[in-house]
Structures are given as C-alpha cells and as structure tokens.
Copies of this chain bind each other. A is one copy, B any other.
Amino acid sequence: MTSFAKINTAPTYRRLYDAIETEIMRGRLKPGAKLPTETDLAGQFGVNRSTVREAIRLLEQTGLVERASSRRLVVSKPSTDQLASGITRALVMHQVSFSDLWAAMMAMEPAVAEGAAHSITPDQIAALEQNVSDSRACLNNPKQFCELDHQFHTILAEAAGNRVLDIAREPINLLFHPAVSKVMTQLSQASSRTLEAHEQILTALKTHDAMNARHWMTKHIDDFRRGYEHAGFDLNGPIDIKR
C-alpha cells in the first residue's frame, strides 16, 4: 500500500506568505532588503496580484515587512512596539487578572533593575535623574506623574540592554498604566512613595549596586500591589482598560 503525502490545501495566499516568511527566516532576505513589486511577485509565483496582496497583508501584520516612504516594501525586524501592542491585545482578550500581571512584573522588573545596574551608561543615568526630577515636580499631577513612572521603567529596561526582558516587560507596563493612574489619583501618598522608590533605585544604579537595585525594585513593585489593594480594587479581578 503506497502512502500518499498530505496535499497542502492551505489557500494560495497563505502558502505565499509561508514561502516569503521562510525566505526571510532563513536569512536569504535580510532586513532592509527591498521586496519585488506586487506585479513582479505575481509573475514569479505565477499567481494573481490580488493573491499577492493578501499574502503581503499577512507579512505586514507580522511586522516582517513595512513600507519605506509609503512605497516599496522592505524586509524588517518586527518592532518592539508592534510586538508589545499585539501581546497587550492578547492579554486583554484573555482577561488576565491583576494578580497574574503583577506576578509577572514581580518576576521581571527586579531582573531588569539588576541588569541595568551592571550595564547602565552615564547618559542613561542622566536621563533617569532628569526623570526623577521631573517626577518630583509633578507630585500633584497624577496623570503626568504616571507618564513619567512609565518612562522611568522604560529607560531602565533600555539600560539593562536585554531585548528579551524588554519585549516581555513592555506589554505588562502598558496594561498597568490605567491601574497606576487610578492608584495615583486615589491614594495621596502613592506618588511620593513611588518617587522615593525611584530615587533609591537610581542611587543603587549610580554605584552599580545590583543587589540594592533589585531590592528596591522588589519593594517598589510590592508597594504597588499594596496600593492597588488599599485603593479598594480586587486583586483577582481582570484589569480594565478604560481611559
């Protein structure tokens, strides 16, 4: 009995996508390389231009190609932002609880702080000092303060120079933004406690004191949970994403 291989019944546009994706993943199409025009692709693959266009939409959403100057398509690495917003969408749809998000943050942020302590540059220290000083000036402006808090953690992640942690961390910070905002608004002492934590972390970073950076970050994140709880929110409830 001869056994037949399964026939690939996937629609043409998807097989086209797969073909181009592998071409990119194998490194035969490097980031920055220009893709042929739609008509060329249609010719090369022997399919209609509409089909090519559908395949391109898939590549586009994956972040593997993007328009250079709104014309020619070029191969690109998926941007951190694109990744983050995709993950954020998914987490929202899965209605993850505050406590799950918090646990993930508790795992990652201290690691980020520790990493940053090792590899932070003077420029980045200066940026953090600026951020802390701006924050001090915004103690009574929850909205702005909240923005600066996010920025603090973003600079830190950049300083740690670990793309993996950065990509994993960003969506969580994005999702926490509304929660941070609520806590800052409702708890008068929240801002000053946050500022104090940031200052302690910054001090540790300046002396490349990884242990203390981690320690204060841990306290900082833990504090946030207490603030959230104290402000009357349910730890096990889903995050809501009002604005």
Residues on A lying within 8 angstroms of B by beta carbon are 13, 21, 24-25, 31, 50, 53-55, 57-58, 60-64, 77-78, 83, 86-87, 89-94, 96, 100-101, 103-104, 106-108, 110-111, 115, 162-165, 167-168, 172
Contact = CB atoms under 8 A, between A and B. Distances in A.
23 contacts: A13-B57, A21-B89, A24-B93, A31-B93, A50-B50, A55-B57, A61-B61, A62-B89, A63-B90, A64-B93, A77-B90, A78-B90, A83-B86, A87-B87, A87-B167, A91-B163, A94-B163, A100-B163, A103-B165, A104-B108, A104-B165, A107-B165, A164-B172
Q: Is the interface of A mostly helix, strand, loop or mixed?
A: helix
Nearest to A162: B100
B100 A165 contact: yes
B168 A104 contact: yes
A103 B50 contact: no
A120 B25 CA distance: 38
A89 B20 CA distance: 13
Contact of A93 (B54, B77, B103): B77
A62 B61 contact: yes
B61 A164 contact: no
Contact of A57 (B57, B64, B91): B57
Contacts of A31: 93
A60 B64 CA distance: 15
A50 B100 CA distance: 41
B115 A103 contact: yes
A222 to B, nearest CB: 14
